[in-house]
Amino acid sequence: MNKQRAEQIAQSPDMKNVMFNGTPIYIQHVDMDTDTARVFPLADPQKEFDVQVTSLIEKE
């Protein structure tokens, strides 16, 4: 995924199907300077972490 799309998803009121290493995640914030996103697994919202935006996959 590119950072512009990740930012669109983070700003969208609609829930999108985004995966990181096979796990459904929620994008909280995108850092456009470092190309990273603050995310958490949908099954465990307390486990926030940063990932490279390019490692995120949007499923249709």
Residue numbers of the domain that contains 19:
3-58
d(C-alpha 7, C-alpha 27), whole Å: 8
Contact present, 57 and 37 (Cβ < 8 Å): no
| pLDDT score at 18 | 98
What CATH number is attached to the domain comprising 38? 2.30.30
**Tens-place pLDDT, residues 2-49:** 999 999 999 999 999 999 999 999 999 999 999 999 999 999 999 999
Burial class (CB in 10 A: 0-12, 13-18, 19+), 39: buried
Which pair of structure tokens corresponds to residue 55? 């490692």
pLDDT above 90: residue 60: no
Count the domains in the chain: 1
